[in-house]
Structure 1
Amino acid sequence: MKNLNFKNSITAFLLIASAIGFSQNKSSNTVSLDVFYSKIQAEKKPQIIDARGPEEFALNHINGAVNFNLESKNYAEQIAKLDKTKPVFTYSIGAGRSVWLADELLKNGFKEAYSLEGGIANWIGSGKPFYSNSKSKLTLAEYNKIIAENKDILVDIGSVYCGACKKVKPVLETIKAQYGNNLKIVEIDLEDNTQVIADLKTIKVFPTLILYQNGKIVFKKEGFENLKKEVDVALAVR
């Protein structure tokens, strides 16, 4: 009966998520990167769950993680293999699926379950150890060269699987249409440039927008709210 209830709650969650998208949720079980990492280090064989889709997991993931796809038919069976007496560490692209999963595990008798604040963006963006199946198209040296060679440059760092990152694109198009060649826009996705995001050691969430002028950071913002306005203000006072 417990497995059936767990499966039903998964189905309900997926129906809601498909309608509104995965949000950047928080709960009492969402912990900072430092706490998440230290707790993992304290375990001999940490139970780390990547709650993203299998295609996302195949591209990159935390070392030692296993993929528990919420949409898989044997999801409940995968959960049943976990040790309820030991901590479970969950993460996703942000803090949507992983928060829900950690809360659901606790409801179903698990002693400890933690979701990583900022998800995979925070982990890789802080330079923690990870697996990637491809080499970054852009190196840190090349990134720094682009910054140095352009007077005004706006960098968009995100993921093709991030809902909020997709909403940035039309804003960038509006900015590009207004400023043309006077403002260089560089888009860096996790899937193509995992290592350079790790090397920057400054990304905690997707999307992150950074505006440089003459090689110096004018602003760095998490999320795209008021992005156009902030770019206009910065470029107006050059």
Structure 2
Amino acid sequence: MKKTIVNLMAIILYIGVAKAQTTPSFAQIAEKINKAQALVIDARSAEEFQQSHIKGAVNINPAGADYQKDLKQLTGQKPIVIYSIGSGRSNSLAKVLNEKGFRDVWVLDGGFSKWIGSGYPIEDHTKQAAITTAAYNKLTQSAKVVLIDFGSKYCGSCKKLVPVLDSLENQKSFGAKIIKIESYEQAKLVKEKNIKSLPTLLLYKDGKLVWQKVGQASTQEISAAVSQNKPAGAIASSK
């Protein structure tokens, strides 16, 4: 009897391992997209999708009016790759698809931000003028100490950082010029600076990178980084 139970457990374990899937790398996903071997779903809003998206992707927004209609049109004939800015909305949609019986569903690790920062191609329809390398370098030298915020108005974590930066911006003693960059309007620059997650803060002194932070940062943390790099008694306007 014990032997039977052990064998049964071994079979269950084998089946579980056999069904487990490893999330494909970006290179593997890019290859599947190029060969039309995967359905790519953009889980962001229609506005975000219209600005830029992975080539060949379709937009299924969980908060959109056509969400249920869009779900019914999915067939499951190809593996599905889902992405959003990070992984919040894409994970939610993946869970829904799994519950509906779709099995080959992958969430793009790191989301659209990491895809752009890693240098993979996108369809870019933004009308904002691109910030060139030369122009960016001028920005980093536009004050003794410059804090550049790579974020997005669509990014939840970025929105949480806004009041922190606004508070610092209003402090005359802060000592750094703050420059905010809408990342999805500057895909080429994001790739060049290897920005793979939003928000990302880059602190420059005399045009040289001296500190960086990926993700949320507190007022105290940013102030400490600036204080360590600003000249004594210096006040830098961010206006």
- TM-score, L = length of structure 2: 0.76
Q: Aligned in 2, Cα 1:123/1:179: closer, same or farther, shift over 3 Å? A: farther
Partner of 2:32: 42
**Which residue is 1:210 aligned to?**
202
Distance (whole Å) between structure 2 residues aligned to residue 75 and residue 58 of structure 1: 17
Task: Determine the structure 1 residue equivalent to 2:181.
Answer: 188
More displaced 10-residue stretch of structure 1: 50-59 or 67-76: 67-76
Match for 2:221: what amino acid? E
Q: Map 1:99-178 onto structure 2 (within 5 A).
A: 99-137=91-129, 138-178=131-171
SS in structure 2 opposite 1:49? strand
Asked which structure has the greater CA Rg, the reply is 2
Cα separation, partners in 2 of 1:40 and 1:177, compared to 1, 3 Å: same
Query: 1:167-191 CA distances to partner (integer Å, 9 max, x unpaired)?
Result: 2111112212224684111100134
5+ residue gaps, structure 2, are 1-19, 230-239
Alpha-carbon contact 1:136-1:196 (below 8 Å) kept: no
The answer on whether the counterparts of 2:26 and 2:115 sit within 8 Å (CA) in structure 1 is no
Given that 1:52 and 1:92 are in contact with CA atoms closer than 8 Å, whether structure 2 keeps it comes out as: yes
Deviation at 1:84, TM superposition (A): 1.7
> What is the CA deviation profile of residues 186-238 of structure 1, one whole-angstrom value per residue up to 9, with x for unaligned ones?
100134333322332x1121111111122222222122233x22332233333
**Paired residues of 2:176 and 2:226 also in contact (CA < 8 A):** no
1:41-120 superposed matches below 5 A: 41-42=31-32, 44-45=35-36, 46-120=38-112
Task: Quote the offset at 1:89 in angstroms.
Answer: 0.5
- The answer as to 2:222 corresponding to 1:231 is yes
Q: Distance in 1 between matches of 2:22 and 2:30?
A: 14
- Looking at structure 2, the residues matched to 30 and 150 of structure 1 have their Cα atoms a distance apart, in angstroms, of 47
**Structure-2 change in CA distance of 1:106 and 1:29 (3 Å):** farther
Paired residues of 2:168 and 2:174 also in contact (CA < 8 A): no
Tell me, what secondary structure is at the counterpart of 1:99?
Answer: helix
Could you tell me whether the CA contact under 8 Å between 2:175 and 2:227 is conserved in 1? no
> 1:219 pairs with 194, 211, 220, which one?
211
Q: Shift of the alpha carbon at 1:136?
A: 4.1
Q: 1:198 aligns with which of 170, 191, 194?
A: 191
Give the CA deviation at 1:135: 4.3
One-letter amino acid matched to 2:223: D
* 2: CA distance, partners of 1:225 / 1:130: 29
One-letter identity of the residue aligned with 1:152 = V
User: SS of 1:128's equivalent?
Assistant: coil
* Cα displacement (A) at 1:140: 2.5
Alignment identity in percent? 39
Say whether the 8 Å CA contact 1:136–1:194 is kept in structure 2: no
- Native 8 Å contact 1:85 1:110 kept in 2: no
Give the corresponding residue for 2:13: none
Number of aligned residues? 207
Whole-angstrom CA distance in 2 between matches of 1:157 and 1:174: 17
1:29–1:221 Cα change, 3 Å: farther
1:29 deviates by 8.3
Q: Secondary structure at the match of 2:162?
A: helix
